[in-house]
Structure 1
Amino acid sequence: MATDIAYGPARLALQAAAIAYLDRLPDGNILTHGDFHLGNVMMTPQGMMVIDWSKAAAGHPAADAVRSEMLMRFGIGPADWVTNLWRDWAAVRLRKSYLAASPGVTTRSIDQWRPVVALAWLRARDAGRTPAFLRYLDKALTRAGLPTLR
């Protein structure tokens, strides 16, 4: 994640502050999916199965929850106002599921991981719904006491 922040488009002062902040976050050694969204879930005769583990890693599950939240809200797909409402509703439901089912995931831990996961996201993705994503990122940076994009 530090590499994605360092090579992303944020200004150098923000990159340095975010990497220092990342270094203070708790390590995790839980299996994380890294790309969990509806396209990576399929129905089988045994029930729902999560597929495409190509980005799996050991890490903190709250970081995975944030990444999934961003994929739900800002990932590739339609961006009309009705779809955006659905995406936001679905992201809230997904976050609640992570909170209920993942040991070590709390509202606080999700909030702590959100600014660095969102900054890392900027390196390789066109942040869909860009104005909404930039507001999301700035809010996360502010809550963490980090410099904002502006």
Structure 2
Amino acid sequence: MWCWLSTNWLELLKAIGPTIIASIVAYVAWQQWQVNRTALREKLFDRRLRIYEQTRQLYVAMAEKRNCSDEDLRDFESALVASTFLYKKDVQDLLIRFREFAQHYQSANVQFTKDSYEINKLAESLDAEFLAIVTAIRPYLSFDNIRK
């Protein structure tokens, strides 16, 4: 039996060669798929983080100034539009509710003085509104399910 192997090693190499090459090509393709998957996750993370940062900027503007400007709302509106493609409906609904809250906050500042009961009540509920968004967005920004 081994006699056949010693005399026909070239035939054996011809038969195994394509299998080895196909295995190397498959491994390279798998590596490329892993790299592309990681790049996609990184891009999604960056875009989702940008939405979170714009939401946080609106929150900080309302918390520090106890008001928000039209420019703050415009900046947040771009985040709201982008969220349509990057988050599920539950997060989008929270962001829409936060925009409506900010608009109500803005109109209350026009109607009432900064130390009025209505403004103070809105300021107290601001943290809860933002915390709901942070809680909903956190799984999208988590690195818990990334394999090493």
More strand by share: 1
Which has the higher relative contact order, 1 or 2, with Cα contacts under 8 A spaced 6 or more apart? 1
Tell me which structure has the larger Cα radius of gyration. 2
TM-score, structure 1 normalization: 0.29
More helix by share: 2
